[in-house]
Amino acid sequence: MSLVKNVEFLRHFPKLNAFSGLAGHGRSAGPSPLVEINEFGPNPGALRMFSFVPEHLSPAPALVVVLHGCGQTAAGYDLGTGWSTLATRYGFALLMPEQQASNNGNTCFNWFNPEDISRDGGEAGSIRQMIARMVGDHNIDSRRIYVTGLSAGGAMTSVMLATYPEVFAGGAVIAGLPFGIASNVREALSGMMQSPSRPAIELGDLVRNASTHKGPWPKLSVWHGSADRTVNPANADEIVKQWLDLHGLPHEPMSSGEVDGHPRDVWWNADGETIVESYTITDMAHGTPLGISGNDEPYGAEGAFLIEAGISSSYHIANFFGLTERIRAPKVEQKTAPKTPAKAPTGVARERAIAMTVPVPAPEPDLATVLWPRAKPQDASRRRGIDVGSVITRALTAAGLMK
């Protein structure tokens, strides 16, 4: 779409005011366990790479790629969702790519930009390079790589699953969109606000045409708040429809029930393994659902687009990925100098000796910046730089189309 048409399109909406206060809430409130890695190979999308590797990794460790939402940082999203806490408890590694304001004025992943969502190009290509670095550095089991994200990060999760299906065993999309439904501003807004229904085979073909992969396809978990007015909840149905078509599964759920008070639909394969699941978080707005109260093992902390809902999406997603078997820290041998044999103690001395042998248990935007690319410096690796009014503002902000 040309610049003239973009501007003309936006003139049909009421004046859009800047959405203030979003980016600051995505910042970490304290020291982060994430470590930045500066060298990871080609970086066509000009993203930053952060990782977390716990002290005790499980044998053949898994890797979870976590993609933040608009206005958030890798560290802030980790703090809010508790992924590094889960990684420590269950012994898997984390990769948390981070968007830069020079790429997108509202630090959203560019899920609708054709140059960023094609295989081996743009932001998708950068994330793939980061994964390769993690696999090489930490002996990651290549059969246990997963990806999840919120909002624009959720839409980018769809991108990664579609463009690199052979890399991922599974994914989880939170308040995101299907792959391939937008390639410009108009289509992005339409998908977010209206989510037009498409035939299942058309949605499936969008993924099939993104690579030469012929299957098997990754499994998928989908999460969306029923009161989301930023990304239409109908997008969850379209994502599910897209992946049911890829897996050759029926449209009707094979099982329906509730988890922590919220509806969950399930589809499984011929072996009885859950392949697609969909959570509808009742009355929740746009964000990642947290279970930080009334829970024996809380994860995360509330913040902007990090919402207490009585259910920890991070934990349930990790469980869906098969990562929630607790690891045990290796025993440390206590070496002592050899002693001269002595007589066995008796009486009080014997009782004290016995007590000492009992083991002690271990403690548990500027709108113009977003709508068209900025000129590329010669040495840079990057090219670029519903009350109707409020809903459009939220939509544009979440899409990365304005500050």
User: Which residues are known catalytic residues?
Assistant: 151
Half-sphere exposure in the Cβ direction for 303 (13 Å, CA):
24
How many whole angstroms separate alpha carbon 387 and alpha carbon 382?
Answer: 37
Pair of tokens at residue 159: 């991108």
Closest by Cα among 203, 190, 177 to 286:
177
Pair of tokens at residue 58: 């499980």
Rounded-to-10 torsion of CA 166, 56, 87, 263: 80
Spatial neighbors of 197 by CB under 8 A, at least 6 apart, are 234, 238
Amino acid, single-letter form, for residue 351: E
Half-sphere exposure in the Cβ direction for 283 (13 Å, CA):
4
Closest by Cα among 35, 187, 39 to 111:
187
Half-sphere exposure in the Cβ direction for 250 (13 Å, CA):
8
